[in-house]
A and B are shown apart, each in its own frame.
Chain A
Amino acid sequence: MNFIKIVEALIAALYFCGAVVNVGGAVAGRKKAVRAGAALTLCGFGMHTGVLCVLIAAQWSTELTRSDFYFSLLAWSLLLIFFLLWWRLNASFLGLVAAPLALILFISSMTLGGTRLPLPPALSGLFFGLHIGALFTAIGLLAMACAAGAAYIVIEHKIKTKEKLSGFFKTLPPLPTFDKMNRLAVAAGFPLYTLGLISGFIWAGFTWGRTFSWDPKEIAAIFIWLLYAFLFHQRVMIGWQGRKTAWMVIWVFGLTIASMLGINFLLPTHHSFKS
């Protein structure tokens, strides 16, 4: 589909310009540039939505077997969460992370091409959809909270050590804004992550006949879930906030990404992107 390829190149170009203008604007402290960058990214996002819809509508059974589709979908859900957070929490600074990350994911999706995933009989589509949807939303939230957490840690350290906030740091919002991202990633992200895991296991039960098969990815996921659960408990029950929770979200997100890229590409697993 040549038309789709052209549109994809256009989307990548929009994401690229959006990311450059956004990051440049944020570093130079120009609000208008940040907005313009976000607007470019939003244009790309709109076209991206269209492309995804077309792909799913036209040939959804084959698309679901393509690894590039998932990267594209992850880029899309990341941006969706970014725009929602901007709209609800006025967290424009997240564009610093969301725009470049979406760009990288999208370009990887374009370069990956059509490597295949062994795909399930149609029966289990619901659980598979839940598995991908819930996990990707949780990962998107984690990515945003990870960026916010890094900012929190740096600024908190500066305040603690009485260092002056200057230049770029001065333009960032106050500490509670970053902590709000963290709360969202924990309070909403953890249930979603749990849902994603459970639906994955159920789907595996339907498709492979075994819910748990000691796949490296499954082991990693359980480990991350335990860490996530601990964070959820400390944050929601004990009332942890600030630095510790910021660090933990960074760990959870880092491990998730590591397991996604490392295990999916390098180790023998059901989740491999290689055919």
Chain B
Amino acid sequence: MQYEICLIGLNHRTADVEVRELFAVKDSRALEERLLAAPGVREAMVVSTCNRVEVLGVGKAGNDLAGLAAAAWAGHCGREPGELTPHLYVHANLAAVHHLFYVASSLDSMVLGEPQILGQIKQAYRAAVENGSTRVIVNRMLHKAFSVAKRVRTETGIGASAVSISYAAVELAKRIFGDMRGQTAMLIGAGEMAELAAAHLQNAGVSGIMVVNRTLERAEELAKRFSGRAVSFAELITRLPEADIVISSTGSPTAIIRARDVKEVLRKRRNRPMFFIDIAVPRDIDPDINSLDNVYLYDIDDLQEIVEENLAQRQEEAAKAAEIVDLATEKFGHWLASLDLQPTIVDLLSFGENVAKRELKKTLRRLGPDVSPETEQALEILVLSISRKLYHEPLVFLKRRAREQSADKFIDLTRRMFNLDVETVPGDAHLDRVGDDEEGDFPLVGGEDCVSDAPVDKPAAAAAVSTVPTGPTGPLAEDGRD
């Protein structure tokens, strides 16, 4: 491969939080520029979050890109590379692509399937694009990463179910009540989990929150936070009919809501359903109420079980997701291979064009000055189209090979067969074709005979590439489809 992709990084598994803090990249733009300044590096992108830092670079092959990237990164953080390397993972080429896809699909996240990372990568990519530090390969890699992540999300159930207790409670409430608007939640006692659940419920659209506490001041304080109402403990049962969802987490040693209270409450509510969430240990709510019609009771163990099941399910879905990632990586490999193929295609077509033009010139000279411009033009079209058609089948063959496996062997064979690298030419005539050229900046193709001839029409050769009919499986056609 002409270019090498390299991805180095550290995450919550390879590095402790202290290390992550040391090597967090606050100014990703500066690091990208520092990396781009290194020899042979063409593209760079940095993603830095509290759980991971990923540094992606694309540069000329054989330049120890990983070492350059690590040095730039350590230097950026004012550290020695030696401090950084023990915590690093290094991925090259397709492994780097695979890692990026894997991370973007949230398969590498601390909580499997949590999608924040995708947003963070999108943000980092946008910044890198604005900074001008990405080009063809990184652009395509990221676009593919986003589409892979989307596929994983829609085609697998990896993000489908709640993996936190408070969120699981909200999901259940939605099942029971459908529309959360117009529902009232009652918070009995305080505690982190209860408050979190209340916040989730409020986000889901619950319209009113009542806060009950043994100390009214505390209740008022909490009620203020959720813009709800404070209710004194003595009023608990009398106000219970107003509540659709009850979250209880008091330190009471005995049950504070008994089954016969709830029976009475249900009658007052005309059997409208109630959902009790008991996250206190020992429990606050008489477990018997679960047997009443239209009453649902979940305690902390029930919710914990749901969360664990959901996590296990995500684990299963992750296998499916990994397949999607593998497939996309393989496809990306084809594209990379076709990138290698591109210069060869151009060279081959230019070679044919040169031969054709040379022969045309000779023929025209022999025919003398009487040839009409029409005939001249017709002849030119004829020879050029013959030269293109001659190379059509070999090109289709090469493209197909490039998709199936590493095409290196065939590319090499083709280049030698047509002497595209002009090996017999002495050093001074040798055109440097592996220079730091841009896409579209095609190297001149030449041979001894060529030198005396008209220079190769570079744009024509480039245009020829696009006019070559591509087989149905050709990489160019595939590009167009994607």
Contacts and interface: CB of A to CB of B under 8 A. Distances in A.
B296 A159 contact: yes
A257 interface: no
Contacts of A177: 178
Given A160-B296, A242-B293, A243-B293, A176 B306 contact: no
A165 B298 CA distance: 15
Contacts of A164: 306, 309
Contact of A242 (B172, B175, B294, B306): B294
Contact of A239 (B178, B271, B305, B309): B271
B436 interface: no
A162 to B, nearest CB: 5
Given A155-B175, A159-B176, A160-B296, A175 B290 contact: no
Nearest to B269: A239
A174 B309 contact: no
Interface in A161-176: 162, 164-165, 170, 173-176
B13 interface: no
Contacts of B175: 155, 159, 165, 174-175
A155 B172 CA distance: 12
Contacts of A244: 293
A14 to B, nearest CB: 31
B172 A240 contact: no
Given A164-B306, A164-B309, A241-B272, A175 B176 contact: yes
Contacts of A239: 270-272
A40 to B, nearest CB: 25
A159 B293 CA distance: 12
Which size bracket describes the interface of A in this complex? 10 to 19
Contacts of A238: 270-271
Contacts of B272: 239, 241
A242 B306 CA distance: 24
B275 to A, nearest CB: 9
A134 B302 CA distance: 47
B309 A241 contact: no
A155 B174 CA distance: 13
B27 interface: no
A110 B305 CA distance: 53
Q: Which of B175, B290, B293, B296 has the most CB of A within 10 A?
A: B175
B273 A175 contact: yes
Given A174-B174, A174-B176, 18 more contacts: A159-B176, A159-B296, A160-B296, A162-B298, A164-B306, A164-B309, A165-B175, A170-B160, A173-B178, A174-B178, A175-B176, A175-B177, A175-B273, A176-B178, A239-B270, A242-B273, A243-B293, A244-B293
21 contacts: A160-B296, A162-B302, A162-B305, A164-B306, A164-B309, A170-B160, A174-B178, A175-B175, A175-B176, A175-B178, A176-B177, A177-B178, A238-B270, A239-B270, A239-B271, A240-B271, A241-B273, A241-B294, A242-B293, A243-B293, A244-B293
Interface of A: 155, 159-160, 162, 164-165, 170, 173-177, 238-244
5 tightest Cβ-Cβ pairs between the two chains A and B: A239-B270, A174-B178, A176-B178, A242-B294, A162-B302
